[in-house]
Amino acid sequence: MSSILETFDCVRCGLSVSTRGPSDIRRNHCPSCLYSLHDCGARMAPISIAVLRNGDWMVIHRCTGCAELTSNPICGDDNQLILMRMAVRPLAQPRSLWSRSVTSDSFRCAGCRLDVPLAAPGTAHRNHCPTCLTSRHLDVRPGDRRADCGGRMTPLTISVRSDGEWQIIHHCLSCGTLSANRIAGDDNALSLLRLAVRPLPALRTGALLAL
């Protein structure tokens, strides 16, 4: 590779962005607005922050065209205000997480072995365990049962849509697919909150401060 810097124009704000960030990390999103460009040609909007076990922060992007989700490492010069806002957004969304549960058909949770009724308040297709929030990779689109994988999906982070609805971002341990799923009315509030606040302790351990 030559030392000539490659650049791309941000699809949202038009900023001319170098494809190499600080520390020579290859970047795919704009450091100013955090948008990126999907392979399908549509913009990808940043919707949430996830913290990996090693403490690294990832930006979860959702394609505004085809709705695919991706996760990408943050860069040292990414806009910290936007990162913070996404990390704390779930906290600003008070919401009643409790309501009655309905019983009918059930499935066995791959995470904690609980027998989970399929019907749930607030969603047509329950696909995750209300206690540990673990799911299975069965759907391509919510409820279609068309995925062949069947892998175990762990909850990665929470995203809050513009209408205030909470979604859990699940990550498939078998194939790496990400998916966004509505929370159900009887999902464990403590598990949800733990997921929502996970980026905050990482702030202090220096994921951003070290930059």
- Enumerate binding residues for Zn ion (CB under 5 A): 10, 12-13, 15, 30, 32-33, 38, 40, 42, 63, 65-66, 109, 111-112, 114, 129, 131-132, 134, 137, 149, 151, 172, 174-175, 177
Nearer to Zn ion among residue 25 and residue 66 (C-beta):
66
Q: For every residue of the chain, which 3-state class applies, written as one string?
A: CCCCCCEEECCCCCCEEECECHHHCECCECCCCCCEECCCCCEEEEEEEEECCCCCEEEEEEECCCCCEEEEECCCCCCHHHHHHHHHHHHHCCCCCCCCCCCCCEEECCCCCCEEECCECCECCCCECCCCCCEECCCCCCCCCCCCCCCEEEEEEEEECCCCCEEEEEEECCCCCEEEEECCCCCCHHHHHHHHHCHHHHHHCCCCCCC
Nearer to Zn ion among residue 55 and residue 161 (C-beta):
161
Name the minimum Å distance from CB 148 to Zn ion: 8
Name the minimum Å distance from CB 204 to Zn ion: 28
Name the minimum Å distance from CB 12 to Zn ion: 5
Nearer to Zn ion among residue 146 and residue 204 (C-beta):
146
Nearer to Zn ion among residue 45 and residue 197 (C-beta):
45
